[in-house]
Amino acid sequence: MKTFRGLCVLACVSCLFCMSFTSCQKAVYDDVDTPVENKAGIPIKFIVSSFERMDARSMSFSRGTDVRSICSRLNLAVYNGTQKIKQINQLSTDSDFGTLQLTLPEGKYKIVVLAHNGAKNPTMTDIEKIGFNGKLTDTFYYCTNITVGSEAQSFDVDLKRAVAMVRFQTNKIPANVSKMKFYYTGGSSSLNALLGGGAVKSRQTEEIAVSTDMVGNPGSFDIFSIPRSDSNLLTMDVTAFDNENAQIFHKRIDGIQIKRNFITELNGSFFGNGDDGGGEIVNGQIKLNLFSNDEWQTIKMTY
Going by CATH, does the domain composed of 164-291 fall within 1.10.3470? no
Q: What is the sign, positive or negative, of the torsion defined by CA atoms of 117, 118, 120, 123?
A: negative
Sorted by sequence, the CB contacts under 8 Å of residue 83 that are 6+ apart come out as none
For residues 252 and 236, the answer to whether their CB atoms sit within 8 Å is yes
CATH of range 42-53+67-161; options 3.55.40.20, 3.20.20.220, 2.60.40.2100, 2.40.110.10: 2.60.40.2100
In angstroms, rounded to a whole number, what is the distance separating the alpha carbons of residues 140 and 142? 7
C-alpha distances in Å from residue 231, one per residue of 189, 203, 251, 255, 300: 13, 14, 22, 10, 19
Phi, psi at residue 22, to the nearest 5°? Answer: -65, -40
In this prediction, residues 275-302 reach a mean pLDDT of 39
pLDDT per position as a tens digit, 136-185: 999 999 999 999 999 999 999 998 999 998 999 999 999 999 999 999 99
Domain boundaries, the chain: 42-53+67-161, 164-291
Domains 42-53+67-161 and 164-291 share a fold: yes
What integer is the mean pLDDT of 84-92? 95
57-70 confidence digits (pLDDT tens): 444 444 444 578 88
Quote the CA–CA distance of 228 and 4 in Å, as a whole number: 100
The predicted pLDDT at position 54 comes to 54
Instruction: Say which range, 84-93, 188-197, 247-256, 270-279, has the weakest mean pLDDT.
Output: 270-279
Give residue-wise pLDDT tens across range 211-228: 999 999 999 999 999 999
